[in-house]
Amino acid sequence: MIDVVEVLQHWHAGRPKSVVASSLGVDQKTVRKYVRPAEDAGLSPGGPPLSRTEWAELVAHWFPQLIDAKSRSATFPMVDAHRARIELMIKSNTISTVHQRLRDEYNLAVGITSFRNLKGPETLQPGLTSRNPLSEAHPPWPCPSSTVSSDASSRPFVSTG
């Protein structure tokens, strides 16, 4: 991800936009996009130095969408519209079940991965995840050595006797 503060610091230090772009591995249009508000605010290369914190405050003001990732998300408003329902349902259902019910009953058009990412773990109760409830009752593979043939390296199967 691009560090906008770094772009602005390099530009403000006097580097040409094309040099900033090539040294940071971004397109020149991207550099121009982030430098334009600084120029509009009267800042210019070689001016009085600004600290990283000062640049970060300016970036937050000029580009608020960079600070809050949810404001950039196309799916966040769809999930957030069901926030109260989700909080209620998550008390007795797994996150997968909540997603499926919202999809089926309320036509929620958000994939499970986006739903999990936007829902966040902060409201999940311990034990109410989408994991397989049988995973604790059944040991993971490989089987205990007593059920594996003595020559398991050449014959990768479980012996029957």
Q: pTM of the full predicted structure?
A: 0.47
Amino acid found at 34: Y
Per residue in 59-118, pLDDT (tens digit) is: 988 987 777 666 667 788 888 888 889 889 988 988 889 999 999 999 998 888 888 877
Q: What percent of the chain has pLDDT over 70?
A: 70
Q: What percent of the chain has pLDDT over 90?
A: 34
pLDDT higher at 97 or 156: 97
Chain position carrying tokens 């508000």: 37
What are the C-alpha distances in Å from 49 to residues 20, 28, 46, 60, 125? 17, 23, 8, 18, 48
User: What's the pLDDT score for residue 60?
Assistant: 87
